[in-house]
Amino acid sequence: MSSGLKVLHVAETVRGGIATYLNELHPHQSASFGRGNVSYVVPSDHRDDLVNIEDEAVTTFPRDGRNAVGLFAMLSATMRAVRQQRPDIIHLHSSFAGLVVRPVLWLTYRRSRIVYCPHGWAFGRETGRLSRAVTEFTELLLSKLTHRIVCISHSEQVDARRVGIAAKRLVLVHNGISKQRPALDTRGAAPWQSAKIKVLFIGRLDRQKGYDLLIEAARTLGDALDVRLIGASVVSKFRRSDLPSNVSLLGWMDRNQIEAELDQADMVAIPSRWEAFGLVAIEAMRAAKPIIAFRIGALPEIVEDGTTGVLCDEASPEKLVEGFKRATTLDLPAVGRAGYERFTRLYDIEQTHRNLSQVYADVLQWGESEAGEAKLQSDFSNNLRP
């Protein structure tokens, strides 16, 4: 794609997987579209999660938890960036950015093409039946204000079709990361010497990520596992006092520190209750580490049970315990090497960038059609009628 394309990425939170996604993508988009043409709207307290991205490319907003004030601040910052930069593509990340920004852009600023990546459908999470139905209807309605919805896994695409989102708006673009591992920062890494299986968890200490299930499994397998947790809570409250003696909390770390911890681990645990993709999985595979995870979301697409890791059939501490017992029968270094081979074949960031660039080109071409624009508005109006 020719240079000069302006892209604005907007996220209500980036901590964790979305930051990794944007950090991996940024150098490729900047090289393709031109320095200064790729910019971001992110919470001020997450600004440092975007690495090697210049300050002039980042608009921040104050965020004190997930509430109406924070969402309004995100919307205000987004509209300010849109007026100043006049982007060709506004790429929204996750449910709250999609929920708040799409209708306002449709009402006030239709020059830009809207690309939305849910990074895991909100209706795929643990909620009541009514809440799920409302979320499904909302996503279906807002899909009509969206030129393309980027699904990061086949399972996410299937879920979108199931609730009625039009196939023409959906495109599958797998997540990717650089084949080159970041440098290992071993200066602050505590030596990890243990006769037990050394298990690393990387992620938010929130219910979605299932850290509590891992802690319970570790409590049961005190003689077999030594667990380190990298992360902190973003949504939930975490009580350090609940940790058994074989579980250590390391807090947030930068990418280079994480790589040093990965190097010492025998396995990586991804005990998520729901997961659209799981970037930690391909980071573990890049480091040639076996994975233990539940058979949910996209994880069965990424992890081959018994070959590159262990998949457990349901999200519970008991099944996790069974999975760890099964892992003890495997040649873990060989499983890790198989994971690395799979990573190099399927999850390269350059492929992600090429596919996203094609999405951008397609929506710009499609958006130039007045008929397409009229159809977008007509679809939405029809859905508002009783």
State pLDDT tens for residues 54-111: 999 999 999 887 789 999 999 999 999 999 999 999 999 999 999 999 999 999 888 9
* CATH 3.40.50.2000 location in the chain: 7-178+348-381, 197-346
pTM for the model stands at: 0.78
Q: Confidence class of residue 3 from pLDDT cuts 50, 70 and 90?
A: low
DSSP state of 298: T
Give me the sheet containing 291-294, strands edge to edge.
247-251, 225-230, 197-202, 267-270, 291-294, 309-312
State pLDDT tens for residues 237-247: 656 667 899 99
Q: Yes or no: say if 199 and 217 are a contact pair by the CB < 8 Å rule.
A: no
Q: What class does CATH assign to 197-346?
A: alpha beta
Q: Yes or no: say if 41 and 78 are a contact pair by the CB < 8 Å rule.
A: yes
Just give the CATH number of 7-178+348-381.
3.40.50.2000
